[in-house]
């Protein structure tokens, strides 16, 4: 079956620190990969996505590269801000699956001044 594994949180960083949140996946078929973000008190929002190997998704200073050889889609940001504090979910979708998403357990990020 399909599954997503994320590093456990919470991750606590100082403002302007470098962020990496690891995500690896197992999928039957060739998945598209996503990062969703959930800010406090808000719904899930798509942060970025990549649909094929070696694609890089990027948005709001966040990046993730689809690595087929390591089945990974790690999220990175060069300099985090307090406003980036949220829960981040890695997810996948396989072709022909009706676009249903399989999510990881989420990683909480706390950024402090």
Partner 1 sequence: GAGVSQTPSNKVTEKGKYVELRCDPISGHTALYWYRQSLGQGPEFLIYFQGTGAADDSGLPNDRFFAVRPEGSVSTLKIQRTERGDSAVYLCASRLGGGAETQYFGPGTRLLVL
Range 42-69 burial, b when 16+ CB lie within 10 A, else e: eeeeebbbbeeeeeebeeeebbbbbbee
Contacting partner 1 within 62-81 (CB under 8 A): none
- Determine contact, residues 57/9, Cβ cutoff 8 Å: no
Q: Of 82-111, which residues contact partner 1 (CB under 8 A)?
A: 89, 91, 93, 97-106
Choice from 47, 49, 57, 66 touching partner 1 (CB under 8 A): 49
Residue (62 or 102) nearer to partner 1, CB: 102
Residue in the block written with tokens 């997810």: 91
Cis peptide leading into 56, omega within 30 of 0? Answer: no
Total interface residues for partner 1 by CB under 8 A: 23
Interface with partner 1 includes 31 (CB under 8 A)? no
What is the contact surface with partner 1 in residues (CB under 8 A)?
4, 32, 36, 42-46, 49, 51, 89, 91, 93, 97-106
């Amino acid at each position: 079956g399909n599954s997503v594994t994320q590093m456990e949180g919470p991750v606590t960083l100082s403002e302007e620190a470098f962020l990496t949140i690891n995500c690896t996946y197992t999928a039957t078929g060739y998945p598209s990969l996503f990062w969703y973000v959930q800010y406090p008190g808000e719904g899930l929002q798509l942060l970025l996505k990549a649909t094929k190997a070696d694609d890089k998704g990027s948005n709001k200073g966040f990046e993730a590269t689809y690595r087929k050889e390591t089945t990974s889609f790690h999220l990175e940001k060069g300099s985090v801000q307090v406003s980036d504090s949220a829960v981040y979910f890695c997810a996948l979708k396989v072709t022909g699956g009706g676009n249903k998403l399989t999510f990881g357990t989420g990683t909480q990020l706390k950024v402090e001044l």
